[in-house]
């Protein structure tokens, strides 16, 4: 058996993380803009006002640029599961591949078909039909996100499946259990609404740019107001759904929630503070320079004042018997593969819930084979494996806080934007408009931090407590991984450069450069009202 090269695993992880981070620069904006376009077009169909059609046309062009590049980067990720994560694909392919296949066959093709009709059907379809097409684009985009997040949720909470010792794969028990996984439902709504926040900031920021230059003033003012109101409601929803996800992590992924909160030792309710800032040290398993708010953590996470939260050191100690049990499970499974004895199968079933911990111990076993561990060395391997159950605390802790701090900032910004817009005082507050303009990339940054929190916090597992990341990668050479990593980095950097160039170009040209209605007379009227 070929030994697993840790360098190849790390490079595979880095490449996939880079691919996902690049891809996620486009996804939130796509998800959010679709429903904003639908809202703009709805107002146009109901009122007949040309300005709302112009809004849908202009922001639709920027959506199209973002959509095309999002598709290009997303396809690469799906191929990487087969090329760089073949062991994961074999182990979890039934569970993971089915939702992705549905996403491709239903959502992706549906979305792509109706996108074409949306762009080229303005003069060929009636108003109600074109509006229906726009809503179908929005539905297709969000269905695509739903199936992807169903697949991802199965990695975090593998409901509706069991491990089959005959095939050595996870096998479906219930498709309904997979689709209605609580993690999938909460994560889907949270991610989709985060996209609405990103789209709102995008529209609001570019509208602020026009108001600062005193160009397209009615167009910009109406776009700004719609985006601000859309953003304030979306931000509240994001915060609410974030609490739901935190509760699920507390119940099902205790190591993740402990890392998020920088909780090395079990909490002491109700005093335990929520740590605002600190410097976690993974090697020493302690944090320095802690700044916290007392009496907040316990009700925030547990929704009570008396329930303690298990700390990471205690979770390590609790993992020791599971690691030892997992070694017994893997050993029994190996013997059953060779001899198909009923006693070995019975032994495996007795310990199968801990199999993942046995696989995790393989990196510390002789020749990465837990069946080769001498009895007198088992405790030594268990002690070496215990720290491996924890994610990188520094990364998880700070990615979560940066996401939260940005979320609070968005709430304040959208609230102020809504107030000033409704009071027709935007152009009097040029500094605020500049803040809105420079805040355009921040929601994208927040979603990236959210993704890092979710995925880094799940480590060391690709399938939580079932399959370690260490055993999931393909057996490539280091040179191959370096070459492919460099290629993807260059290619995706070009995509980002193209995206930014096109976005800046068309945003600077403004709506009138795209054949939209001239609102100069309306702008004069708006100026009178504003002053």
**Who wins on pLDDT, 286 or 110?**
286
Helix runs in 426-467, H state only: 430-438, 442-458
Helix runs in 157-287, H state only: 175-179, 182-212, 217-252, 254-260
Task: Give yes or no: residues 233 and 290 share one domain.
Answer: no
Contact between 519 and 216 under an 8 Å Cβ cutoff? The reply is yes
Beta bridge partner(s), residue 162 = 171
**Who wins on pLDDT, 417 or 81?**
417
515 in any annotated domain: yes
Q: Is 423 helix (H, G, I), strand (E, B) or coil?
A: coil
The highest-confidence range among 234-248, 298-312, 383-397, by mean pLDDT, is 383-397
Task: Give yes or no: residues 407 and 305 share one domain.
Answer: no
- Read off the pLDDT of each residue in 285-300 and give the average, rounded to a whole number: 91
pLDDT in tens, 300-341: 898 888 999 999 999 999 999 999 999 999 999 999 988 889
Q: Is the predicted pLDDT of residue 143 greater than 60, yes or no?
A: yes
371 in any annotated domain: no
pLDDT at 107: 66
Q: Which residue reads 């993690």 in tokens? A: 183
Name the residue range of residue 275's domain.
267-309
Contact between 297 and 274 under an 8 Å Cβ cutoff? The reply is yes
Please state at what angle helix 127-156 crosses helix 182-212, rounded to 10 degrees: 130
Length of the chain: 531
Task: Give yes or no: residues 146 and 225 share one domain.
Answer: yes
Beta-strand runs (E) in 378-516: 461-463, 467-468
Contact between 309 and 261 under an 8 Å Cβ cutoff? The reply is yes
Give percent of the chain with pLDDT exceeding 90.
Answer: 39
Task: Give yes or no: residues 218 and 287 share one domain.
Answer: no
* Lowest model confidence (mean pLDDT) among 73-77, 86-90, 371-375, 394-398: 73-77
Task: Give yes or no: residues 135 and 224 share one domain.
Answer: yes
330 in any annotated domain: no
pLDDT at 530: 36
Q: With CA atoms as reference, report the closest residue to 134 among 218, 228, 223, 44.
A: 44
d(C-alpha 373, C-alpha 289), whole Å? 42
Q: With CA atoms as reference, report the closest residue to 63 among 41, 85, 88, 91.
A: 41
Q: Is 376 helix (H, G, I), strand (E, B) or coil?
A: helix
pLDDT in tens, 448-499: 999 999 999 999 999 999 999 999 988 888 898 898 888 888 888 888 888 8
- Read off the pLDDT of each residue in 50-61 and give the average, rounded to a whole number: 86
Contact between 173 and 162 under an 8 Å Cβ cutoff? The reply is yes
pLDDT at 514: 45
Task: Give yes or no: residues 271 and 418 share one domain.
Answer: no
Q: Is the predicted pLDDT of residue 516 greater than 80, yes or no?
A: no
Task: Give yes or no: residues 178 and 221 share one domain.
Answer: yes
* Lowest model confidence (mean pLDDT) among 67-71, 115-119, 243-247, 383-387: 67-71
Contact between 29 and 60 under an 8 Å Cβ cutoff? The reply is no
**Who wins on pLDDT, 3 or 403?**
403
pLDDT at 445: 93
Q: Is 270 helix (H, G, I), strand (E, B) or coil?
A: coil
pLDDT at 529: 34
Q: With CA atoms as reference, report the closest residue to 204 among 392, 9, 406, 436.
A: 436
465: part of which helix (H) or strand (E)? none
CA distances from 127 to 101, 116, 134, 226, 518 (A): 33, 16, 11, 21, 21
Contact between 246 and 309 under an 8 Å Cβ cutoff? The reply is no
Task: Give yes or no: residues 277 and 211 share one domain.
Answer: no
Please state at what angle helix 217-252 crosses helix 27-47, rounded to 10 degrees: 130
Contact between 456 and 20 under an 8 Å Cβ cutoff? The reply is no
- Read off the pLDDT of each residue in 489-517 and give the average, rounded to a whole number: 76
- Read off the pLDDT of each residue in 86-96 and give the average, rounded to a whole number: 87
pLDDT at 265: 93
d(C-alpha 85, C-alpha 99), whole Å? 17
Task: Give yes or no: residues 231 and 298 share one domain.
Answer: no
Beta-strand runs (E) in 244-333: 274-281, 286-293
d(C-alpha 88, C-alpha 464), whole Å? 12
317 in any annotated domain: no
Task: Give yes or no: residues 222 and 294 share one domain.
Answer: no
Q: Please give the mean pLDDT across all residues of the chain.
A: 87
Count structural domains, the chain. Answer: 2
pLDDT at 323: 94
4 in any annotated domain: no
pLDDT at 528: 35
Q: Is the predicted pLDDT of residue 405 greater than 90, yes or no?
A: yes
pLDDT band for position 380 (cuts 50, 70, 90): very high
Task: Give yes or no: residues 95 and 206 share one domain.
Answer: yes
Contact between 368 and 389 under an 8 Å Cβ cutoff? The reply is no
What is the per-residue DSSP string for 23-87? HTTTHHHHHHHHHHHHHHHHHHHHH--HHHHHHHHHHHHHHHHHHHHHHHHHHHHHHHHHHT-HH
Show the tokens assigned to 189.
């709504």
433 Cβ contact partners less than 8 Å away, ≥ 6 residues apart: 208, 211, 212, 426, 427
Contact between 148 and 100 under an 8 Å Cβ cutoff? The reply is yes
Q: What's the count of helices (H) and strands (E) in the chain, helices before strands?
A: 20, 6
Task: Give yes or no: residues 47 and 90 share one domain.
Answer: yes
Dihedral sign, Cα of residue 467, residue 468, residue 469, residue 474: negative
pLDDT band for position 512 (cuts 50, 70, 90): low
């Amino acid at each position: 058996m070929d030994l697993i090269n840790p360098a190849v695993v790390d490079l595979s992880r880095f490449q996939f993380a880079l691919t996902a981070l690049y891809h996620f620069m486009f996804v939130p904006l796509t998800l959010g803009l679709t429903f904003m376009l639908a809202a703009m077009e709805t107002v146009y169909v109901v009122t007949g006002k040309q300005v709302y059609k112009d809004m849908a046309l202009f922001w639709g062009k920027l959506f199209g640029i973002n959509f095309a590049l999002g598709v290009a980067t997303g396809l690469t990720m799906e191929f990487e599961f087969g090329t760089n994560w073949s062991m994961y694909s074999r182990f979890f392919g039934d569970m993971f591949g089915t939702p992705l296949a549905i996403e491709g066959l239903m959502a992706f093709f549906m979305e792509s078909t109706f996108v074409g009709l949306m762009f080229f059907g303005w003069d060929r379809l009636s108003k109600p039909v074109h509006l229906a097409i726009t809503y179908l684009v929005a539905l297709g985009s969000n269905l695509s996100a739903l199936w992807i997040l169903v697949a991802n949720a199965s990695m975090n909470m593998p409901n509706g499946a069991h491990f089959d010792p005959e095939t050595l794969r996870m096998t479906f028990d219930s498709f309904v259990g997979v689709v209605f996984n609580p993690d999938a439902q909460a994560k889907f709504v949270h991610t989709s609404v985060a996209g609405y926040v990103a789209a709102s900031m995008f529209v609001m920021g570019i509208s602020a740019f026009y108001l600062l230059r005193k160009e397209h003033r009615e167009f910009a003012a109406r776009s700004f107001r719609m985006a601000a109101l859309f953003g304030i409601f979306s931000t509240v929803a994001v915060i609410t759904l974030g609490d739901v996800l935190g509760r699920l992590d507390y119940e099902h992924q205790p190591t993740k929630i402990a890392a998020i909160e920088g909780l090395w030792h079990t909490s002491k309710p109700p005093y335990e503070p929520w740590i605002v800032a600190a410097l976690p040290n993974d090697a020493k398993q302690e944090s320095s320079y802690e700044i916290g708010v007392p009496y907040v953590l316990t009700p925030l996470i547990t929704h009570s004042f008396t329930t303690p939260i298990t700390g990471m050191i205690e979770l390590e100690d609790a993992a020791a018997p599971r690691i030892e049990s997992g070694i017994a499970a893997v050993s029994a499974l190996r013997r059953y593969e060779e001899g198909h004895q009923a006693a070995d199968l019975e032994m495996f079933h007795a310990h199968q819930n801990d199999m993942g911990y046995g696989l995790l111990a393989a990196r510390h076993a002789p020749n990465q084979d837990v069946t080769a561990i001498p009895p007198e060395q088992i405790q030594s391997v268990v002690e070496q494996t215990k720290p491996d159950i924890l994610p990188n605390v520094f990364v998880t802790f700070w990615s979560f806080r940066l996401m939260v701090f940005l979320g609070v900032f968005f709430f304040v910004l959208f609230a102020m934007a809504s107030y000033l817009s409704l009071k027709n005082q935007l152009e009097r507050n040029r500094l605020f408009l500049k803040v809105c303009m420079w805040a355009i990339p921040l929601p994208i940054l927040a979603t990236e931090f959210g993704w890092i929190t979710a995925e880094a916090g799940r480590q060391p597992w690709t399938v939580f407590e079932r399959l370690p990341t260490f055993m999931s990668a393909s057996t490539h050479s280091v040179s191959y991984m370096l070459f492919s990593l460099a290629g993807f980095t260059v290619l995706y950097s070009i995509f980002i450069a193209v995206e930014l160039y096109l976005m800046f170009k068309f945003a600077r040209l403004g709506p009138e450069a795209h054949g939209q209605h001239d609102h100069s007379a309306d702008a004069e009227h708006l100026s009178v009202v504003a002053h």
